[in-house]
Structure 1
Amino acid sequence: MAEILSQSQIDDLLNELAGVKIDKVSSDLEDHSIKNYDFKSPKKMSREQNKALSSLTDVIGRHLAAYFAGVLRNYCEINVDSIDEHPYYEYNNSLPDVLMTAVVDIDSINGSILLDMSNSITYTLIERMLGGSVDTTIIPNREFTEIEVALMERVFKKMCMFIQEALVNLPNTNVTLRNIETSTRFIKAIRIEEVVEVIVYSVTIGSIKGTITACIPYTYVEAMIMSVVKNEDKLNNNITTDEVRNAMLEELSNSLVDVCGIIGTAKLSLKDLMNLQSGDVIKLEQKVGNPVLVTINNNKWFWGEPGVKKSSKAIRFSKYYKGGF
């Protein structure tokens, strides 16, 4: 007879199983990083949009790294650190009061984006452009001078060019620098309540580290990505169509077709047709001097003029067949 478990044994068994399950869940949670999700303001960017935006930012980052390395005569590393979505007021409140910020206009989306450069990177570029050394850069705690703003204007214009190159698949794109702001509290290019995509580049120049940040309103990001994707699809479709067309033409180029020149036509009754004999003359409907109809595989294609070439009858094409002559 099978042994029956007592109630205390059943309770002990259930408690043991529950403990194992809880330990397993806890260990699984420890293995994965957990982020808090705000259900009051859900993310608008889809995974596909994030992927497309990441590819654009990578291209811009590579261009910037090469440009900074040439200007600074020093190794420069630029990587995309993060792409996050925030209300603009949160992003603006996180910035220091004094910061070099470029307001950039993009014609194809009828909007503006912001490019922020941390003071460590800004003063490093200024120091090097004025003949100083990267390693001896001093980060002063003061407002930027007009000369420093003028020097950085050249850098930001170059960055605009890189953005335009990255958006090469976006039709009618013209990226221009509107102005440079040095006080983050007076920037009015983006509405306070606007949801923005914040792209942070980590920049390393020798021992100097800093960031370059792009702030793009979500509505403009969506428009850019959709336009780029549509234009790329259009280009891919055109390429595919051209390839197929060329392949078909290559296969058909050696095919033989029947080319006929019709001098004229006539209508006969069945009685006249049955009484035809050698030497009879049939009057055609076409007059002397009318062009000859040229058919290709029984399809009307051209009008031509009859003649002779090297002791052989020939037809010179004069125009496409459009009905009548």
Structure 2
Amino acid sequence: MSDVLSQNEIDDLLSALSTGEVDVKEIEDESNEKKVRKYDFSRPDKFAKDQLRTLEIIHENFSRLLNNFLSGYLRTVVEIQVLSVQSLIYNEFSNSIPNPAILGIVNFSPLEGQIIIEVSSELAFSMIERVLGSDGSITSEKESRSLTEIELTLMRNVLMKFINLLKEPWSNIIELRPKLETIETNSQFAQIVSPSESIALVTFSLKIGETEGMINIAIPHFVIEPILPNLSSKLWFSNSSKKPTTEIQKESLSMNVEKTSVNIKVVAGRTNISVLEMLTLSVGDVIVLDKNVNEDFEIYIENDRKFKAKPGKKNSKIAARITENLEEGDESNG
């Protein structure tokens, strides 16, 4: 029966009420009955929708970091997105894992327990091929076989990079120190929890060149149970705006700044000449500068005067030896 009554049904109901065929009290009693929601105890739903939404936000941030890393590491176009974040029991997840598989068992320190990162065979072989200098194309024969020892070592290095990228997205909730413990190729040897344990399964779609596949991250409920109260959207955005910069972030920022290139120039002196004088200059002419021969040169970083220096020579190259570090108040463009 539809929840919306037609005009004829409304007219019939009003007519029945006026004639006494339908009792208003009976209708009220029916509306006051307690609603019963079905609950499957074999599949306990331990994650609230708000908590799953926060996990989705965390791993959307992770996917952006992973996209940037893989694009540079594999030297190709990479597309990654979070497909879903859902609550399952571990048995449902483990039964869906193909054999052979690539399962990274990760210690989720300082939290107690482990999580699993599953990478599809298509993606694993494509990444390995590109690391070894190939175009990343794979065959069905490769997809159906297990990794060799050398390939497992290469895959271990890739997964370790994945895991390190998890630290920043989780930093608003907890300072993680994740560590890759082992890589399993058979799901039967990756029983990190009981089959009936509830897990949050984060599924990513990853495209590397022409190869597409899935990455799954299985997070058992008991592992993140101590921090579940913090997995709320309200608290997440509050922490995002107030949380101070972490030491890891400071170190990363410092390393990036140290690698930045800057322009440096050494000025021996200055003078003014006319355009006519400049046009008539030739080899052997002498230009008189405003500096005495014994005065220091000036060193500029970008457009700021930062140091004084003496001219010199190192090996076969002209050099300048810094003699004075100018204070901020002494800076000028002279």
TM, length-normalised to structure 1: 0.58
Contact 1:53 1:225 in 2 (8 A): no
What is residue 329 of structure 2 aligned with on the other side? none
Q: Distance in 1 between the 2:169 and 2:9 partners?
A: 61
What is residue 218 of structure 1 aligned with on the other side? 221
Contact 2:172 2:243 in 1 (8 A): no
Q: Distance in 1 between the 2:95 and 2:62 partners?
A: 26
Cα gap change, 1:129/1:190 in structure 2, threshold over 3 Å: closer, same or farther?
A: same
Per the alignment, in what secondary structure is the counterpart of residue 166 of structure 2?
A: helix
Contact 1:52 1:225 in 2 (8 A): no
Structure 2: tracts of 5 or more residues without a match: 1-7, 14-36, 245-334
Cα gap change, 1:70/1:195 in structure 2, threshold over 3 Å: closer, same or farther?
A: same
TM, length-normalised to structure 2: 0.56
Per the alignment, in what secondary structure is the counterpart of residue 98 of structure 2?
A: coil
Q: Distance in 1 between the 2:209 and 2:239 partners?
A: 43
Per the alignment, in what secondary structure is the counterpart of residue 151 of structure 1?
A: helix
| Residues 1:178 and 2:181 aligned together | yes
Q: Counterparts of 1:245-264 in structure 2 under 5 Å?
A: none
| Residues 1:163 and 2:166 aligned together | yes
Q: Deviations over 1:75-118 (max 9, x none)?
A: 11110001111111111011111111100111121111000000
Cα gap change, 1:126/1:87 in structure 2, threshold over 3 Å: closer, same or farther?
A: same
Aligned with 2:212 (options 192, 209, 229)? 209
Cα gap change, 1:206/1:169 in structure 2, threshold over 3 Å: closer, same or farther?
A: same
Deviation at 1:170, TM superposition (A): 3.9
What is residue 198 of structure 2 aligned with on the other side? 195
What is residue 137 of structure 1 aligned with on the other side? 138
Q: Which amino acid aligns with 1:76?
A: V
Q: Deviations over 1:231-281 (max 9, x none)?
A: 986796798xxxxxxxxxxxxxxxxxxxxxxxxxxxxxxxxxxxxxxxxxx
Instruction: Give the structure with higher Rg (CA).
Output: 1
Contact 1:107 1:174 in 2 (8 A): yes
Contact 1:160 1:176 in 2 (8 A): yes
Cα gap change, 1:196/1:238 in structure 2, threshold over 3 Å: closer, same or farther?
A: closer
Contact 1:108 1:170 in 2 (8 A): no
Per the alignment, in what secondary structure is the counterpart of residue 180 of structure 2?
A: strand
Aligned pair count? 209
Aligned with 1:57 (options 55, 59, 64)? 59
| Residues 1:71 and 2:83 aligned together | no
What is residue 46 of structure 2 aligned with on the other side? 44
Cα gap change, 1:67/1:172 in structure 2, threshold over 3 Å: closer, same or farther?
A: closer
Q: Distance in 1 between the 2:243 and 2:95 partners?
A: 47
Cα gap change, 1:46/1:14 in structure 2, threshold over 3 Å: closer, same or farther?
A: closer
Per the alignment, in what secondary structure is the counterpart of residue 107 of structure 1?
A: coil
Cα gap change, 1:38/1:137 in structure 2, threshold over 3 Å: closer, same or farther?
A: farther
Tell me the percent identity: 25
| Residues 1:92 and 2:125 aligned together | no
Q: Distance in 2 between the 1:94 and 1:228 partners?
A: 27
Structure 1: tracts of 5 or more residues without a match: 1-12, 19-36, 240-325
Q: Deviations over 1:20-76 (max 9, x none)?
A: xxxxxxxxxxxxxxxxx9731353222221221111111111111111111221111
Contact 2:55 2:231 in 1 (8 A): no
Q: Distance in 2 between the 1:200 and 1:237 partners?
A: 29
Cα gap change, 1:123/1:225 in structure 2, threshold over 3 Å: closer, same or farther?
A: same
Q: Distance in 2 between the 1:113 and 1:61 partners?
A: 17
Contact 2:108 2:114 in 1 (8 A): yes
State the Cα RMSD in Å: 2.9
Deviation at 1:227, TM superposition (A): 4.8
Q: Distance in 2 between the 1:52 and 1:238 partners?
A: 16
Per the alignment, in what secondary structure is the counterpart of residue 147 of structure 1?
A: helix
What is residue 119 of structure 1 aligned with on the other side? 121
Deviation at 1:190, TM superposition (A): 2.1
Q: Distance in 1 between the 2:60 and 2:242 partners?
A: 25
Q: Which amino acid aligns with 2:209?
A: G
Q: Deviations over 1:143-190 (max 9, x none)?
A: 211101000011111111011122223445211111111111211222
Q: Distance in 2 between the 1:137 and 1:234 partners?
A: 44
Q: Counterparts of 1:251-290 in structure 2 under 5 Å?
A: none
Contact 1:169 1:228 in 2 (8 A): no
